[in-house]
Structure 1
Amino acid sequence: MLSALNKIVCLSLWASFLSVGAAPGAINLGPAPIALGTAANFAILSETGVSTVPPSAITGNVGVSPISANALTGFTLTLASTGAFSTSSQVVGDLFAASYAAPTPATLTTAISNMQTAFTNANGLVNPGFTNLASGAIGGLVLTPALYKWTSSVTISASGVTISGTSADVFVFQIAGTLTVAAGARVTLVGGVLASNIFWVVSGAVTADAGAHIEGVILAKTSVTLETGTTMNGRILSQTFVALQKVSILFHS
């Protein structure tokens, strides 16, 4: 029989799993999810700007701070009557900048702070299950739930990579160097894995070549570039610049 305390713990776990769409009874075999705070309200969040080469298709909000709306380029912005946000034909959602009317500047300041904290916390996780796996050349591999750490750069070749687990499992990839996804490479999820439970924590630049497909949350210390035809299920939370070239990004809540 379960003790009263154990019953409470089990019920808490159940509620947590349901909140991220986990299957009933599923148990996380990886690290704890990375708390994103209000940064989770954005498909793309950047400190120095977001550019697009039309037509891109972004589902979710886009934000830049502490900079002005001039740092949102290629979107053809239409300012809302409130002055607090803009819209664009390329975005199913709203675009926010620190130069917009209240409460947007304060909201963005909090989101940026939450993004920075998320990166610091994720990058500071210890006791990885895998260290320098395949010397960073992970194309063709099947990755199971764990904390992964690379002291070098990571590349995903055209053969792609498979992430395997359940809807409750969490994957954290700490990358000290750059992350490069080859042209046409795909990150494929099997077993019910959720993109919202995958965290690419990258200290160097992130580049996805033409026609690549990415799943997960990118927590980037520097720039993120998605080249022509790249698709992504997840979020880009970047402490510098985000460059998009005719891409498709679907935001996961």
Structure 2
Amino acid sequence: MKKRSRKKMLSLLLTLALFAVNGTAQLTMAAEAEVKTGTTENFAILSGETITNTGTTEVMGDVGIHPGIEVVGLSEDMVTGAMHLADEVALAAKNDLVIAYDDAAGRTPQIISRELAGQTLTPGVYTSNEKDFLLTGKLILDGEGDPDAVFIFQTDTTLTTGSGSSVEFAGNATACGVFWKVGSSATLGSNSSFAGSILALTSITLETGATVNGRLLARNGSVVLDSNVITSGPCTQNQSATLHVIKMVVNRNGRTAVSEDFSVHVLKDGLDVSGSPDAGMETPGRTYTLEAGNYVVTEEPVEGYEASFSGDSTDGKVTLSPGEEKTVIITNTSSAGSIDLFKTDEKGNPLSGAEFTLYREDVEVGEPMSTDENGNITFTGLAKGTYKLKETKAPEGYVLSEVAEEIILTQDEEIVEISFTNTMILGRISIVKVDGKTGAALSGAEFRITDGKGTEVFQGETDDEGMVTAELPYGDYTVQEMKAPENYEKSEKTYAVSIVEDGQIIDLEVENTKMEKKAATLPDAGDTSGNIFLLLGGLALTGGLLLWRKRSAA
């Protein structure tokens, strides 16, 4: 009996275990039922109090309000559907909204982090311990291959999304299956991309540029808009959209670029879509088949051309709704600004051969250029912006300018004139005259300096310290002694020197040899010229004595 009882007990436990396993499997596999929204299905916006809009907003779907009647700033031409202001249709939709709200609030949730950014969620019902939700980045909803997947988010207080945040889909999930039950109010940040139906007890606010792929349903409060795009309607969110990108080029100042010279990018979340980048193309342009979402059209810059956007975008940013077709035109116009540079010396004479480099944001603009015989350079084809002009090579014989001149072009085709002055390189030749034996300084020595053409450029005499100095510009020179000090022999040596740097000093020491004194000597015996002079002197003396005696006797 005991053995039989044990067998029955084991059998019962096995049966319960199998039931538990099968039951758990059925619970896990059971899909969350859709929230029935009734006649709100046709509404992109439904408000209980007021609807206020600033800027240009696009609404694809119906707009309704009940019991309020005030709609400010949202005209009929901004709405593709009908506008129901406190009529029976709006009342019926409000009643259906109450039912849908209560349905979403009554589901059993699982708890997740209040910050949704960075999460990838599968179908289910979610809430947070804080009873609110934040989204400051990207949230991915993965339908796991089920196009009817349902996601329900419950808050007792608020739903807040940050600027540039987004809700994105994977695994065939669609905005039609996403429901946000908000216990008070929802606020969507600027330029955010949101998806799903917001069922708010109070109000819904969209900041500038926010887009919604879904519905804004506020039971008791207001809906506030600011240059937004709201896309609603039948569940067609997985339909593709079409984007045409056309490249146009306007050439001026002899420029010859064509559309194919520009590389165009179509980006989603900072990454190139399929087929991007590609060379630009004129009308009809390049066509991209894309999922609904936010995109940026941009290009790789080409020096000397400025880009502008037109068509369905003025800045390259474009939002594509399911089934939508848009065109972005990029027009590149060759820049026409110019900088005229004039290079002179200190006397205003033009200098050729000065090399200048132009920079924009510390990047060289084109190749360095050199001044012509008129001292002129013209940088052309410049876009508006801030530039720096710097001399990178001075003319021969001049000091390099260290000035980096800032130039701002504020208008198209603006011409800015600027001048640079170079200072001539100056050096000094210092000559010291000394006795070759004693090293004593010698004054009175005259020196002459000639340039490379043989032209005299300096002449001077050493002072009491034996020095004479000449300040001369860049060049090659020859130094030569022209007159020696008294009682010294003149040096026949010449000195070739060159001044190549500003402030250069060339020291020359020139030695002189003192002349030797000669002793007195008698005439040679064979030299008769001396005897003749002696004879004549003797005759003159004798004659003088005779004359003196004769006068004395008388």
Residue matched to 2:66:
65
C-alpha spacing 1:29/1:216, structure 2 compared with 1 (3 Å): farther
Residue matched to 1:90:
78
Give the alignment partner of residue 117 of structure 1, picking from 72, 93, 99. 99
Residue matched to 1:210:
190
Residue matched to 2:413:
none
Residue matched to 1:46:
47
| Partner Cα distance (2:52, 2:191) in 1 | 18
8 Å contact 1:43–1:250 — kept in the other structure? Answer: yes
8 Å contact 2:45–2:216 — kept in the other structure? Answer: yes
Q: CA deviation at 1:194?
A: 1.1
Give the alignment partner of residue 169 of structure 2, picking from 189, 192, 196. 189
8 Å contact 1:29–1:145 — kept in the other structure? Answer: no
Residue matched to 2:57:
56
Residue matched to 1:228:
208
* TM-score for both structures, normalised by structure 2: 0.36
| Partner Cα distance (2:226, 2:164) in 1 | 15
Q: Are 2:121 and 1:171 aligned?
A: no
8 Å contact 2:65–2:90 — kept in the other structure? Answer: yes
| Partner Cα distance (1:67, 1:242) in 2 | 11
4+ residue stretches of structure 1 with deviation over 3 A?
none
Q: Which amino acid aligns with 1:93?
A: G
Q: Which amino acid aligns with 1:90?
A: M
| Partner Cα distance (1:107, 1:90) in 2 | 20
State how many pairs are aligned. Answer: 202
| Partner Cα distance (2:197, 2:82) in 1 | 19
| Partner Cα distance (1:190, 1:200) in 2 | 18
8 Å contact 1:195–1:234 — kept in the other structure? Answer: yes
Residue matched to 2:20:
none
| Partner Cα distance (1:176, 1:75) in 2 | 30
C-alpha spacing 1:65/1:143, structure 2 compared with 1 (3 Å): same
8 Å contact 1:30–1:147 — kept in the other structure? Answer: no
| Partner Cα distance (1:231, 1:54) in 2 | 14
Residue matched to 1:74:
73
Q: CA deviation at 1:29?
A: 5.5
C-alpha spacing 1:139/1:30, structure 2 compared with 1 (3 Å): farther
| Partner Cα distance (2:230, 2:89) in 1 | 23
| Partner Cα distance (2:31, 2:72) in 1 | 38
C-alpha spacing 1:90/1:29, structure 2 compared with 1 (3 Å): farther
Q: Which amino acid aligns with 1:213?
A: S
* TM-score for both structures, normalised by structure 1: 0.77
- Aligned residue for 1:92, secondary structure, equals coil
Q: Which amino acid aligns with 2:132?
A: S
Q: Which amino acid aligns with 1:200?
A: W
Q: Which amino acid aligns with 1:248?
A: V
Residue matched to 1:201:
181
Give the alignment partner of residue 247 of structure 1, picking from 221, 225, 228. 228
| Partner Cα distance (2:81, 2:89) in 1 | 16
Residue matched to 2:123:
145
| Partner Cα distance (1:245, 1:29) in 2 | 40
Q: CA deviation at 1:204?
A: 2.1
Q: CA deviation at 1:148?
A: 0.8
| Partner Cα distance (1:115, 1:214) in 2 | 20
| Bigger Rg, which one | 2
RMSD across aligned positions (CA): 1.3
| Partner Cα distance (2:30, 2:121) in 1 | 12
Q: Structure 1, unaligned stretches of length 5 or more?
A: 1-27, 77-87, 99-104
Q: Structure 2, unaligned stretches of length 5 or more?
A: 1-28, 235-554
8 Å contact 1:213–1:231 — kept in the other structure? Answer: yes
Q: What's the % identity of the aligned pairs?
A: 31
8 Å contact 1:155–1:181 — kept in the other structure? Answer: yes
Q: Deviations over 1:130-182 (max 9, x none)?
A: 21x12x0111100110011235221001x211111131211011111211110
C-alpha spacing 1:30/1:222, structure 2 compared with 1 (3 Å): farther
RCO comparison, higher one (Cα < 8 Å, 6+): 1
Q: Deviations over 1:193-230 (max 9, x none)?
A: 11010001111211111100111111111111111110
Q: Deviations over 1:111-131 (max 9, x none)?
A: 1110011101111112x2x21
Q: CA deviation at 1:106?
A: 2.0
8 Å contact 2:42–2:232 — kept in the other structure? Answer: no
8 Å contact 1:30–1:171 — kept in the other structure? Answer: no
**Greater helix content:** 1
